[in-house]
Each structure stands twice: as C-alpha cells, then as structure tokens.
Amino acid sequence: MKQEKTILQEVLDRGFSRRDFLKMCTALAATLGLDYSQTNKVVNAMETKKRVPVIWLQMQDCTGCSESFIRSSQPKTESVLLEMISLEYSEVLSAPSGHYAEKSIKDVMEKYKGEYIVVVEGSIPSNDIYLMIAGKSARKELEHVCENAAAVLAYGSCSSWGGVAAAKPNPTGAVPVTDIIKNKPVIVVPGCPPIAEVMTGVIAHYVTFGVLPELDHLGRPKAFYRHRIHDKCNRRAYFDAGLFVENFDDEGSKQGYCLYKVGCKGPTTYNSCAEMRWNGGVSYPIQSGNPCIGCSEKDFWDNGPFFTRVAKIPGTQTTINPDVVGAAVVGATIAGVAAHGALTALDKKKKESKDK
C-alpha cells in the first residue's frame, strides 16, 4: 500500500533529490513558525512518518475552502496532497464517485481506526432536511465519520462558527462542528476562506509532530491566529498618525492611508493575512485598498455593514453606530431631565401657594 511508505520515500519516488527534500523541510519549518534550529525535527519526521489518511467532508459550504486549499504555495498543495496526506475522500478532488466513494470512507474508518483526520468544510444544519449526503443526514454522517478519527479540522468560518448559513435569520439552524463533535479534538481554522498556507500548515504540523498544534482559547492554532490583522497591518503607521481614508475616491485612499474609518474590521480580526498574505504572499485585502471584513471572526456576516464602523448589541445580531445612538440617548436624557425639572418647579410653586 502507498500509505506504508514514509514521506521521504514518496518524495524520492517522485524524482526529487534529497537536497530538494531538505529544502522543502526548511521552508515547511518556516511556515509552521518554527525556529531555524528546529528544521532537523521536521526532516526527522518526514523521514520516518507515514502519510496521514484524510477524509474531507463538505457540509453547507461553497467549496471556497477547497478552492483556497488547492492554491497553497508553501507547502505546495501537491506536496501536501501527494506526500504528506492521503486524501481518501473528497467530494471535489476524489476520482471515485457514488458507491465507490462511499466505500473508500468505510475502508479508511476500518483500516485506520483512530489514525485518520476528518476535515470539515461548511456548517451543519440542525434541521436534517436541509442537507443529506448519500441518503444520510449531514449530522449523522459527521458523527459517524468522526467516531474513529484522531482529530477533526474545521476548515473555514462555516464549520468553525456557522458562517454564512448561520447568519441572521439562520433558516437551517446551522451550527459549527464544535457543537456536534464533543469527544474529539477539534482544530478551528476560520476564514472565508482560510489562507491556503494556513490550511496546509495546520495539516503539515500534525503530520510532522503527530500532535495537534498549540491552540488558543477558541480552539484556533496559535501559530496563525495569535495576532490581529491590525497589529501587523502594513497601514498601521497611518492609523497611529491619525491619517485615514474618508472615501474610497479621496486623496488618502490614493496615498494608502488607514482604512479604519471606512469600516476596516482589522482591529477585531484574528488572522495571518497581514503576515502571510494571499496567493503565495502577493497581497491581501488591506494592502489592495479594501477594508478587512473580518471574515475569520465569529458571526462576521452579522457584524456589518462591511464599510461602516459599528458596534453590536451583545446577545443580538443587531449592529448600531454607538456614537450616534449614544448621543441620541444622552440627548433624550437631557430632554427628560429638563422636563422633570420643569415639573418639579411647578410642583414646588403649587405647594408654596398652598402653604400661604
């Protein structure tokens, strides 16, 4: 079986030299956020570890995460797909279909009990009628496939938080993977879609070390979600200087000023866009002149509008402009206080005349 080979053997079989292999390992270590001195750990793992079987499930999704995944440049998608993991089932990338595809899930679950990884793309509807896969409800399919899994990777904002399907009014009752899978480690990799290198990086980390990466308080890998966009933003100097784009057609926009006033969600968004950027490090939305829409944050569809600074009323999916509403409420209070003062004066006068 192919899976029995080590990753090094896979690479050599494909006609690469050992030198190429070491280069790949060094680049991979850098992507994982490891120190240069840790490279030999990666090399060692790649020389001894076998490929990890992966089942990739798609729930209520748009396949955007798959599309992003196949555009990874470091590690290259093909090296992840062909050398590090063994993608046994994917509705987009698998060759088999129908009963053959279903059979490959069954085979993996039996043969690699407790070893395989389940990748989930898309949210799961609470109401079963909204999504059936091969005659089974999405929820049952997910529970079934995850039974023997080593770990679950929630790729994208839908499987991480509910995403677009869970946006107000959430007609399907969409929930994230973490609401359903409670007894397995779930790594949350949010983004709409997540950065390709982040997706492959998380898999590479698991393959390399055999353990899950360090996670933050929301279950996201710290290596990629420890900073806000705002803290690493290439336009941050303009923020601190107080220089802001007011309109998309003004001089500030041409100068590359901070996009804070046109609704940039960078200050509340945890992701690696500002460091790793997109499409192999070419650019990312803010660099290209568009405010961050906060796509890797929970309920980001409801945190809009995208191009206005707003505040959310906690516990609801309603956003308001806090300053306008706040000033209005204070204004109403002043009016109320003035009215109360007038009534008090009348009351006082009435009593004084009564006493006379």
Residues engaged in binding other proteins (CB under 8 A): 216-218, 226-228, 231, 237-244, 251-252, 255, 260-261, 265, 267-270, 294, 297-299, 303, 309-314, 319, 322-323, 325-327, 329-330, 333-334, 337, 340-341, 343-344, 346-348, 350-352, 354-355
* Distance from C-alpha of 47 to C-alpha of 32, rounded to nearest angstrom: 18
Handedness of CA 97, 103, 108, 113 (dihedral sign): positive
Q: Both tokens of residue 114?
A: 């407790």
Q: DSSP label at 52?
A: E
Name the minimum Å distance from CB 132 to other proteins.
31
Tell which residue, 33, 73, 75, 70, has the closest CA to residue 275: 33
Name the minimum Å distance from CB 354 to other proteins.
7
Whichever of 56 and 270 has its CB closer to other proteins, that residue is 270
Name the minimum Å distance from CB 187 to other proteins.
16
Whichever of 211 and 327 has its CB closer to other proteins, that residue is 327
Name the minimum Å distance from CB 217 to other proteins.
6
Whichever of 127 and 333 has its CB closer to other proteins, that residue is 333
Name the minimum Å distance from CB 167 to other proteins.
14
User: What string of DSSP letters covers 144-190?
Assistant: HHHTT-SEEEEEHHHHHH-GGGGSTT-TT-EE-GGGT--SS-EEEE-
Whichever of 40 and 318 has its CB closer to other proteins, that residue is 318
Name the minimum Å distance from CB 59 to other proteins.
22
Q: Is the peptide bond before 194 cis (omega within 30 degrees of 0)?
A: no
Whichever of 210 and 326 has its CB closer to other proteins, that residue is 326
- Taking a C-beta distance cutoff of 8 angstroms, is the pair 268, 294 a contact? yes
Name the minimum Å distance from CB 114 to other proteins.
30
- Please state the separation of Cα 204 from the chain's center in Å: 17
* Distance from C-alpha of 58 to C-alpha of 142, rounded to nearest angstrom: 10
Q: Which residue in this structure is represented by tokens 């192919």?
A: 2
Q: DSSP label at 81?
A: I
Whichever of 76 and 226 has its CB closer to other proteins, that residue is 226
Q: Which residue in this structure is represented by tokens 């409801």?
A: 302
Whichever of 169 and 242 has its CB closer to other proteins, that residue is 242
